[in-house]
Amino acid sequence: MPYIFLLPNLLFFGLFVFVPIAINFVYSITGGPALFPSDRPYVGAGQYTYLFECGSYVDPSTCREDHFWRGVYNTLFFTFFQVATMVGLSLLTAIVLNMKIRGRGFFRAVYFFPVLLSPVVVALIWKWILQRDGLLNAAITGLGSDRILFLAEPGWAMFWAIFVSVWAHMGFYTLILLAGLQAIPSDIYEAAEMDATPRWRVFWRLTLPLLWPNLIVVVVLSLIRAVQTFDEVFVLTGGGPGTSTLMVVQYIYETAFSNQVQNFGLAAAASLVLGIVLFALTLAQLAFTQRKSS
Amino acid sequence: MNLSRLVTARRNPKGWHWTDVAAYAYLLLGVVLMFGPVLWLVLSSFKTQASLLEFPPSLLPLSQKEVTVPGYPQPLLLFKVTMEDGTTRELAQIRRVGVQAQMINPADPSQQFRVAIDKRTPVREFSLATKNYTEPLERFAFPRFLANSVIVTVVATLITLLINSMAAYALSIYEFKGKNAAMLMVIGTLMIPITIILVPVYLVVTKLGLVNSLWAVILPGAATPTGVFLLRQYMLTLPRDLIEAARMDKASEWQIYWRIVMPLTLPALAVLTIFSIMWRWNEFLWPLAVLTKTEVYTLQIGLNAFQGELQTQWQYLLAMTVMTLTPVAVVFVFLQRFITTGIANTGMK
């Protein structure tokens, strides 16, 4: 009887997750433009060697598949700064919201609501502010500066991609950290207050160590998400200017679906590489959560 | 109650610590940064095309006042004009010739003037350009996209609720061979996001003949590991005696699931419903890959396509963006507690 209840769900998992994993591997060792694996000639590790053929790995322009490597470097850069900013700000916000604050529910809602907005909506909201005649340019010209084409200059475009992404998602991590802070028994704090321990000392010696497990989870979770960044950045900048905000997932999507020649094999090989990174990160997360619960 | 005491009241009886001040300053800055952009979007979406092109932009939606003057079939634009003697008066513009404008006094149509155009400024009033909202509903495929998104969200959520709750029921109530393997499969799927299996899922969908149908968006994400976990966790807390008693009364397993366990699981089902609506309404990458015909676009894909095509018609784009975020905003306002406790309990979204 339990098997009948399990069946529909596992059928979906099989059809849309496990079978695809196997086929993905088949795609990555075959070539040609055909969609059906039986029509695709075997190429061995050809897709992988093509993907990894570089004069120098430090310089994407020396690679055969320079877009992939641009994507890798952009994603690494994005991930590092986005995760660092996001974890820092979420922690700060969670601590502030955990103070004896009036209207806590309201403020929590304020930080949280962008989490529910769709990536397209988030990107369009900011595109409207950042455009040539937008609110931000009105503000900086009002202060006497020249207009800046925020999404047309590589450095600025990357900055805003990170900013917008943090804006949209920090509420989620704030919520997890806030739950962690609220789980810390309050009598610990009362004892510290009795001893007149300074607040910064309470933070370093009590709050931070007790929050550490949650913090690790937040770091790994945001790493997993950041490595897969696609939608907001894609709608905001389209990967541009040039390839300066092109991410790995956008490379995969374009290679398989939107380029003139659909290269399923190369896209599959690139997604397997990404998959290995995600697998390692997820194992790390499971290890940490296991340790937390035991 | 004394108002000043209400405003300055604190929870901390010992007085203000500098960290309290910093905390409120930080939170107020947060309100501006988080709410401001959305407020700006909504305000902008009610502006006319002409006032959207203004730089610097006005804060509120304003449009130039118009007057009807006897003898002129069209309403005329109203300006404030500085006359040669230094006085100012409100005049309506009949026509503009180069740097000169021919103006008329709306109160007394016999008075006409020639005015240099740099001597006049438009008279403006607050007005909402609601046609930004009504026109996309008539002119573009927007209603189609809206309908597609509603269908996808509703059907997918129903399927998710059914199959996830069935799996959760099996994994929480029964002991059976292969239970651990099934649990492992659920955890496994948690590690495999759609981003890394785009191509093969596309193949599966093609083989099933679903490309460019809404089923291609609905089915692949219908079984969610998050949902199974959430529901199983909740079902584990249900009293076992209840199920034993039902078995004594010769209730079938399906009846136990449908009549006893499901009603008791309602709080968890509510959380999963909200999650599923959010996921489906906002989904982007997969629909983008699998939907290539305009008729089957969901709102998100349609909106993304519009932003490429309507670069110069922000008034429609902004209004459509507001319409897209409205359902989510409504859900949030009414169900905020469910969502936040759901996330805090599962650590997932």
Domain coordinates in residue numbering, chain A: 73-248
Q: Which of B27, B42, B326 to mutate to test the interface with A (most CBs of A within 10 A)?
A: B27
Interface of A with B in 128-157 (CB under 8 A): 128-129, 133-135, 137-138, 141-142
Contacts of A229 (CB under 8 A, 6+ apart): A75, A78, A79, A82, A165, A247, A249
In percent, the amount of chain B with pLDDT more than 90 equals 23
Looking at the domain A73-248, which fold is it? MetI-like fold (1.10.3720)
CA distance A28 to A38: 13
How is residue B168 written in tokens? 């959760």
Rounded mean pLDDT, A77-82: 96
Rounded mean pLDDT, B328-335: 81
Confidence category of residue B1, pLDDT binned at 50, 70, 90? very low
DSSP collapsed to 3 states, chain A? CHHHHHHHHHHHHHHHHHHHHHHHHHHHCECCCCCCHHHCCECCCHHHHHHCCECCCCCHHHECCHHHHHHHHHHHHHHHHHHHHHHHHHHHHHHHHCCCCCCHHHHHHHHHHHHHCCHHHHHHHHHHHHCCCCHHHHHHHHCCCCCCCCCCCHHHHHHHHHHHHHHHHHHHHHHHHHHHHHCCCHHHHHHHHHCCCCHHHHHHHHHHHHHHHHHHHHHHHHHHHHHCCCHHHHHHHCCCCCCCCCCHHHHHHHHHHHCCCCCHHHHHHHHHHHHHHHHHHHHHHHHHHHHHHC
Convert the pLDDT of each residue in B205-253 to its tens digit.
Answer: 999 999 889 999 999 989 988 889 889 988 888 888 888 888 888 888 8
Q: Do A112 and B340 touch (CB under 8 A)?
A: yes
Which chain B positions have a beta carbon within 8 Å of A181's beta carbon?
none
Q: Do B201 and A16 touch (CB under 8 A)?
A: yes
B63 has a pLDDT exceeding 80: no
Put simply, whether A164 touches B (Cβ < 8 Å) is: no
Q: A221 or B150: whose pLDDT is higher?
A: B150
Put simply, whether A212 touches B (Cβ < 8 Å) is: no
Which chain B positions have a beta carbon within 8 Å of A286's beta carbon?
187
CA distance B115 to B135: 36
How is residue B42 written in tokens? 């909504």
In percent, the amount of chain B with pLDDT more than 70 equals 92
A-B CB pairs within 8 A amount to 255
The structure's pTM equals 0.85
CA distance A230 to A244: 14
Rounded mean pLDDT, A138-163: 90
Select, from the ranges A53-57, B3-7, B18-22, B250-254, the one with the highest average predicted confidence (pLDDT). Answer: B250-254
- Predicted-complex ipTM score: 0.86
Instruction: Give the pLDDT confidence score for residue A160 in this predicted structure.
Output: 95
Rounded mean pLDDT, B21-30: 89
Q: Do A235 and B285 touch (CB under 8 A)?
A: no
Strand ranges for chain B from DSSP E: 62-64, 66-67, 76-82, 88-97, 100-104, 112-116, 120-122, 124-126
Rounded mean pLDDT, B277-303: 90
CA distance B322 to A103: 27
CA distance B193 to A228: 9
B152 has a pLDDT exceeding 90: yes
Q: B166 or A187: whose pLDDT is higher?
A: B166
Give B37 to chain A, closest Cα distance, Å: 7
- Average predicted confidence (pLDDT) for chain B: 83
Instruction: Give the pLDDT confidence score for residue B239 in this predicted structure.
Output: 85
- Average predicted confidence (pLDDT) for chain A: 87
Rounded mean pLDDT, B284-303: 91
Rounded mean pLDDT, A187-206: 82
Instruction: Give the pLDDT confidence score for residue A262 in this predicted structure.
Output: 85
Rounded mean pLDDT, A233-259: 90
Q: Do A21 and B228 touch (CB under 8 A)?
A: no
**What single-letter amino acid sits at B28?**
L
